[in-house]
Structure 1
Amino acid sequence: MRREADWRSAPALHRVTPDRDGFRSWCEGPVRRRDPARAERLLAAYAVARADAARRAPLDFALLAGWQREVLAVPEAPFRVGDAYAKAGRERYGLTPRTRADFASCLREATDPALPPAARAARAYLDVAFFHPFADGNARAALLTLVHVLAREEIVLPEVGPLQTTRYADDPAGAADLATLIGVLHHRRRRGVPR
């Protein structure tokens, strides 16, 4: 799916002064209403992810594991040791001797200047979702990865709730649609703002 998606057609994103931080609003709204402790952990991880973006830290498993320790309030967040399953067992993410190296290679592409930031953010999100590196919390790790990739470009989405939909590993059109959705969310902020 990663090679089949049309990443180059992703919309252009522009740096704008943030008027609303969508990740923070999502944590303070629906996440906090459902589970205040979870919201606090996500906000702590988000602060670390944003600081990592500001210092231009390379995206790698160690960085993600640091965020994940905050998200799950655990001392360690190791790479999974067996196959992973999602969607009530309908999707299986195998573990081979190459899985970890392949994942690292994909994460390194998150700064590839040949692709628009929306494509890089979408691809990194899906890489985390479908490599499924952690035993728990992969959806949260994927969203943190997406906002980190955008933050490296000084881009903050005004909302992230619409990103929280089911994605499938064998859907290249859906992968490209995620990049488009990032553009739509970003451009909602830009209405009425001169270019």
Structure 2
Amino acid sequence: MPIHLTGRPFFRFCEKLRVFTMLAVVFSVFSGCALFDSPPFPKQEVRWADRQILFRDIAHHPESLQGQHVILGGKILNITRKGMVSTIIVKEYPLGKELHPDTEKPSMGIFEIVTDEFLPADRYKPGHKMEVIGTVIGPTDLRTAGGRSVRIPVIRGRHLHAQAPAPPPMPMDMMDPGFMDPGFMGPGFMGPGMMMPGFF
């Protein structure tokens, strides 16, 4: 015989099911990020760059390496958008096995990226990690906050990737200890006939 829930029991069941679903989604997102840190670029794009050229080579010899295709990564310090062209100042960090910048290792310096690609504001902002495949176009002079002039290499970006924005905060009602009462996921949660035809 089909079992039907009505009134308050049905409302409480819907609330529990909603919380359970949202928790499952949040868990899957975070576990996916932790276990599957996929490379930022397809293999065919990576093959376009010369992986043997490291940042220290570019920083020391930007003129002689003009025209070379490289892949670099780091943390965004500043972005300037002027019309169709954007300039990104990046603090370099060595790339790991999956081509993501390893901020646990020491930085070798700063570089600049010039691009005419559209840069979503929620991804491309100071503090976010990013990677770039591009062409060395020479050095430029960067004036620091202290007024000192520093020469840094410039990369014309061909392919760019930046850190995704953080997931939205958990709703306040889900953070309330009293919301998930002792009966949540208890013996009565999966009652007889819950998944039977006619349940709803």
The normalised TM-score by structure 1 is: 0.23
Which structure has the higher relative contact order (CA within 8 Å, separation 6+)? Answer: 1
- Larger proportion of strand: 2
- Larger proportion of helix: 1
The normalised TM-score by structure 2 is: 0.23
